[in-house]
A and B are shown apart, each in its own frame.
Chain A
Amino acid sequence: MQGSKAELRWWSYLITAVVIFGIWHLVAVILDSIALPTPVTVFFAFIAGLKGDLISHLLISTLRIVYGIALAFSLAVPIGLASHETRVDKFVAPFIYLLYPIPHIVLLPVIILLFGIGDLSKIILIAMIVFFQILVTTRDASRNISENYIYPMLSLGASRREIYKHVILPACIPKILTAMRISVGTAIAVLFFVESFATYRGLGYLIMDAWSRANYPDLYAAMVTMALLGFGIYVLLDQVEKRVCRWVYV
């Protein structure tokens, strides 16, 4: 049963992909502009890129984004979970309220002045933006845990640490993973922004470079690779969620 269901989903994804590429092809043929090559042209540019240095650019972009998300995750989740305690939340909530709505991307010059123009600045900017998305969600989740889950633990004589282990963490994990999946889109956007200058490595650089050379097949190949990067991380997180949160899907 499970197998046939999964197969069915694979087919639906495949059909959707074919439809998307079909529309792209159709529009490219109708417009007949060098600015919009057909998917086939881009595919060949992509294959040529794989033989060239596309992989190494993809790798460096992957590292930047994975480090950024990992850094954000390791800071935001503990703070968000600890916000379950009203004492902690009293400090955290005002900070979130004041700092979250600010567009953090404008802090780029400050971050570069402080951390240089290397990978560290890029990772920190990605981490900073994703941090708030994960923190806000984790905090809301941990604040909204019903007392009906806490009382049974107290009646069984659980310590605070045990309540976190058995209730607060598992109750928040689905929300945390959803927040991370959503933040992948943001992280990729920030990645493009930080890679579009002062670097000669990464997919963002590749896009800007191909654009300035007016090499449109290369431009699209780099864009497709960036899309695949986002898609890959998204699928990975989705699989982690299905595995870790089996109880949500039964």
Chain B
Amino acid sequence: MIEAKSIAKTYPDGTGALHDVTFDIRAGESCAVIGPSGCGKTTLLLIFSGILKPTEGKALIEGEDVTASLKELALIFQDYGLFPWKTVYENASLGLELRGFGKRERKRIVSSLLKDLDLQGFEKYYPKQLSGGMQQRVAFARALALNPKIMLMDEPLSSLDALTRENLQNFLLQLWRQKRITMLLVTHSIEEAVFLGRKVIVLSPRPGTVIKSVDNPDMGDLNYRTREVFFDKCREVRQSLDGGAI
């Protein structure tokens, strides 16, 4: 269970990023947050990862105040968050290394993950030798290696081409269906939000506040994109975004 209780964040330079943001995501639920660029979406994720502190309000995970990074939580970044000086294998096993896993166990976990993610044979490559889609899969491998219960994702697919993007959307959907990871996905694509979010939260321009929370009970199917309800849902989300006067 993830709860935002009237979270507000104002940066030291006076920029108001978030204002009175309240929502909750049940355990195992998938939630997409959508809003115009610069509406404080990234700030929200950094608060839930314990990297930033809210100016007002509370960020709760399982009822506990978020003060530091939690073991069961993984964060995925738009620019993949990989280290160019580490190979694919070193990047993917970094989280395990930091958590004190032994060499053999790291190898076992990471090797099978890289295989699942179609990255086998690329262990010794450096990130810049890979395509954007492959880099983001390495980032997913690093996050999944820690077997997280919660995944926070900051526009994880927005630098990818349309085809790769759909592939990884499908991957995320299957991941969610199989493992029931609680997902909080920040995106600025309406279609992505509706495809992946069981609940779609619409934020206003900066300082971001919740305009609307749209329930999306029909999601969860790979064919959802082609169904009439999908387009209706996209239209509903688009209208609430327009209502926020972008």
* Chain A residues packing against B (C-beta within 8 Å): 148-149, 151-158, 162, 166-167, 170-171, 173, 245-247, 250
Which A residue's beta carbon lies closest to that of B129?
A250
A46 to chain B, nearest CB (A): 42
Known: A152-B83, A156-B98, A170-B83. 10 other contacts (CB 8 A): A148-B81, A151-B49, A152-B77, A152-B81, A154-B49, A156-B146, A158-B98, A166-B83, A166-B94, A250-B128
Q: How far is the CA of A156 from the CA of B225 in the complex (A)?
A: 34
A-B contact pairs, 12 of them (CB 8 A): A149-B83, A151-B77, A152-B77, A152-B81, A154-B49, A155-B74, A155-B75, A157-B71, A167-B83, A170-B85, A171-B85, A247-B86
Asked if A151 contacts B46 (CB within 8 A), the reply is: yes
Q: How large is the interface on B (under 10, 10 to 19, 20 to 34, 35 or more residues)?
A: 20 to 34
Which residue, B74, B85, B86, B146, has most C-beta atoms of chain A within 10 A?
B85
Contacts of B98 in A (CB 8 A): 153, 156-158, 162
Asked if A155 contacts B49 (CB within 8 A), the reply is: yes
Q: Does B104 contact A (CB under 8 A)?
A: no
Q: Does B57 contact A (CB under 8 A)?
A: no
B101 to chain A, nearest CB (A): 12
A53 to chain B, nearest CB (A): 45
Q: Does B220 contact A (CB under 8 A)?
A: no
Contacts of B68 in A (CB 8 A): 157
Which A residue's beta carbon lies closest to that of B127?
A247
Contacts of A155 in B (CB 8 A): 49, 51, 69, 73-75
Contacts of B83 in A (CB 8 A): 149, 152, 166-167, 170
Asked if B84 contacts A151 (CB within 8 A), the reply is: no
A140 to chain B, nearest CB (A): 18
Contacts of B85 in A (CB 8 A): 170-171, 173, 245, 247
Which B residue's beta carbon lies closest to that of A171?
B85
Asked if B126 contacts A154 (CB within 8 A), the reply is: no
Q: How far is the CA of A171 from the CA of B83 in the complex (A)?
A: 9
Which A residue's beta carbon lies closest to that of B139?
A152
Q: Does B95 contact A (CB under 8 A)?
A: yes
Contacts of A246 in B (CB 8 A): 126
A158 to chain B, nearest CB (A): 5
Contacts of A156 in B (CB 8 A): 69, 94-95, 98-99, 146
Asked if B46 contacts A157 (CB within 8 A), the reply is: no
Q: How far is the CA of A156 from the CA of B99 in the complex (A)?
A: 8
Q: How far is the CA of A110 from the CA of B124 in the complex (A)?
A: 53
Asked if B84 contacts A247 (CB within 8 A), the reply is: yes
Asked if B95 contacts A148 (CB within 8 A), the reply is: no
Which A residue's beta carbon lies closest to that of B49?
A155
CB contacts under 8 Å to A, within B43-86, are: 46, 49-51, 68-69, 71, 73-75, 77, 79, 81-86
Which B residue's beta carbon lies closest to that of A249?
B126
Q: How far is the CA of A46 from the CA of B34 in the complex (A)?
A: 74
A250 to chain B, nearest CB (A): 5
Contacts of A148 in B (CB 8 A): 77, 79, 81
Known contacts A157-B99, A170-B85, A151 near B79 by CB under 8 Å? no
3 nearest A-B residue pairs (beta carbon): A152-B81, A155-B75, A170-B85
Contacts of A149 in B (CB 8 A): 81, 83
Known contacts A171-B85, A247-B126, A250-B128, A152 near B75 by CB under 8 Å? yes
A217 to chain B, nearest CB (A): 49
Q: How far is the CA of A155 from the CA of B77 in the complex (A)?
A: 11
B129 to chain A, nearest CB (A): 6
Q: How far is the CA of A162 from the CA of B97 in the complex (A)?
A: 10
Asked if B77 contacts A157 (CB within 8 A), the reply is: no
Q: How far is the CA of A30 from the CA of B214 in the complex (A)?
A: 88
Q: How far is the CA of A166 from the CA of B85 in the complex (A)?
A: 9
Q: How far is the CA of A157 from the CA of B95 in the complex (A)?
A: 8
Q: How far is the CA of A246 from the CA of B98 in the complex (A)?
A: 23
Q: How far is the CA of A139 from the CA of B77 in the complex (A)?
A: 27
A246 to chain B, nearest CB (A): 8
Contacts of B49 in A (CB 8 A): 151, 154-155
Which B residue's beta carbon lies closest to that of A245?
B85
B13 to chain A, nearest CB (A): 15
Q: How far is the CA of A171 from the CA of B49 in the complex (A)?
A: 24
Q: How far is the CA of A235 from the CA of B80 in the complex (A)?
A: 35
CB contacts under 8 Å to A, within B162-221, are: none
B151 to chain A, nearest CB (A): 11
Q: How far is the CA of A173 from the CA of B82 in the complex (A)?
A: 17
Q: How far is the CA of A162 from the CA of B99 in the complex (A)?
A: 11
Which residue, A155, A170, A171, A250, has most C-beta atoms of chain B within 10 A?
A155
A196 to chain B, nearest CB (A): 42
